[in-house]
Amino acid sequence: MTKTELEYKINEVKLDYIRIQGDLEKLETFGRNTDIQQKKLDELEQELSNLNKELDAIDPS
Q: Could you read off the pLDDT of 12-55 as tens digits, one per residue? A: 999 999 999 999 999 999 999 999 999 999 999 999 999 999 99
In-domain check, residue 43: yes
What pLDDT sits at residue 31? Answer: 94
In-domain check, residue 61: no
Give me the number of domains the chain comprises: 1
For residue 38, give its domain range: 3-24+33-56
Number of H helices, E strands in the chain: 2, 0
pTM of the model: 0.88
In-domain check, residue 17: yes
Within 10 angstroms of residue 37's Cβ, the number of other Cβ atoms is: 19
In-domain check, residue 16: yes
What pLDDT sits at residue 4? Answer: 95
- How far from 19 is each of 26, 43, 44, 54, 55, CA to CA, in Å? 11, 14, 11, 24, 23
What pLDDT sits at residue 61? Answer: 63
In-domain check, residue 40: yes
- Give yes or no for a contact between 44 and 13, defined as CB atoms under 8 angstroms apart: yes
